[in-house]
Amino acid sequence: MNVEARLKQLGIAPLPAVTPVANYVSSVRTGNLVFLSSHGPVKKDGSLITGKVGADLTVEQGYETARNLFN
C-alpha cells in the first residue's frame, strides 16, 4: 500500500499547497526521513501551534498536532 492510499484509508487529507513567496525546496527525503521547510502545524483557525513535546505539549497533543498536518 502506498502512502496516499494509507492516508485516504485513515481519512487524512493533505493540506493544499501554499503559494510560494520565494524559490525554495519545501521538502527533502533522506532514507525514511522527510525534512520539511516552511511547514508548521496550524490550528483550525490558521494560527500556528508552538511548543516542544514533553515541555509545552503532552505526547497526545504532539500526536494530534502531527496528524493535523495532513487535515
12-43: pLDDT as tens digits: 887 777 776 777 776 788 998 878 776 677 77
**What are the sequence ranges of the domains in the chain?**
3-68
State residue 56's pLDDT score. Answer: 94
Q: 49 is written with which cell numbers?
A: 501551534
The model's confidence at residue 71, banded by pLDDT at 50, 70 and 90, is low
CA dihedral angle for residue 3, residue 31, residue 38, residue 25, rounded to 10 degrees: -100
Burial group, residue 46, by CB count within 10 angstroms (0-12, 13-18, 19+):
exposed
Q: Residue 17: its pLDDT value, please? A: 75
Is the pLDDT at 47 greater than 90, yes or no?
no
pLDDT at 40: 72
